[in-house]
Structure 1
Amino acid sequence: MKQNATLAPIRINSSNIDLGEALPRKVQEEILHVAETHFGHLKHATVGFTRDGHWYCCTINVQVGNLKMIIAEATATNCNQAFDLALAKIGNQLLRRKKRAADSRRVQPPAAAHA
């Protein structure tokens, strides 16, 4: 039961695409993993898949902790590749924000007094 409660904040949408069973499971597991790796708590996530000709587009919206919504989009020849590319962008953005937060918490040395 705990697993269903953990996976609840992730919503997966698709437009005229059959995602099967494996892709939604992968999406939920990997988004939770990335969010927990960088910030520990996923507030909400939405993943959308669309098709444009021979290309598949994946859009990921993630909110982690008290941060603003993070959005990433990628296009590839299949849904799995598009998701992997978009998730890598989310991971990079979370890492940058984590570094910024750590830098802002560091105590700056006092300015030297002029003699």
Structure 2
Amino acid sequence: MKQNPTPAPIKINGSNIDLGEALPRKIQDELAHVAETYFGHLNHATVGFTRDGNWYCCTINVQVSNLKVIIAESSATDCHKAFDQSLAKVGRQLLRRKQRVADSRRVQMSAAALA
């Protein structure tokens, strides 16, 4: 099956925060790369930034394949660090989901072989 060549829609929101030009590019590249590493296709994603005092909070919502939405959130002293921490959490969750899918396929294959 041929993959869709157009990039997945990634919405980036900054609540009263100037994200500049580099951060949105970084988000587009790295989030698409992490999703494609584990599942090959990103359906959609939303990245939101808020400020709480001296801390920046980053929330990432990602949907790949037909799985449930993955949500990760973290806080740091700047937007780049907050995004990197949230992206690491998304990567770990995607890895765990891929392993669960592979395990369930192995169980189905072994059950079919026994039948």
When the two structures are superposed, what TM-score results if normalisation uses the length of structure 2?
0.88
Residue 113 of structure 1: aligned partner: none
By how many angstroms is 1:108 displaced? 3.4
Residue 88 of structure 1: aligned partner: 88
Q: Deviations over 1:78-114 (max 9, x none)?
A: 000000000000000000000000000113365xxxx
C-alpha distance in structure 2 between counterparts of 1:102 and 1:15, whole Å: 39
Q: Deviations over 1:27-68 (max 9, x none)?
A: 000000000000000000000000000000000000001000
Q: Which amino acid in structure 1 is aligned with residue 40 of structure 2?
A: G
C-alpha distance in structure 1 between counterparts of 2:101 and 2:16, whole Å: 40
Runs of 5+ unmatched residues, structure 1:
111-115
C-alpha distance in structure 2 between counterparts of 1:64 and 1:31, whole Å: 11
3-state SS of the aligned residue for 1:108? Answer: helix
C-alpha distance in structure 2 between counterparts of 1:60 and 1:105, whole Å: 28
Runs of 5+ unmatched residues, structure 2:
1-5
Residue 97 of structure 1: aligned partner: 97
3-state SS of the aligned residue for 1:17? Answer: coil
Q: Deviations over 1:15-36 (max 9, x none)?
A: 1110000000000000000000
Q: How does 1:1-115 map to 2 (within 5 A)?
A: 5-6=6-7, 8-106=8-106, 107-108=109-110, 110=114
When the two structures are superposed, what TM-score results if normalisation uses the length of structure 1?
0.88
3-state SS of the aligned residue for 2:51? Answer: strand
C-alpha distance in structure 2 between counterparts of 1:105 and 1:65, whole Å: 16
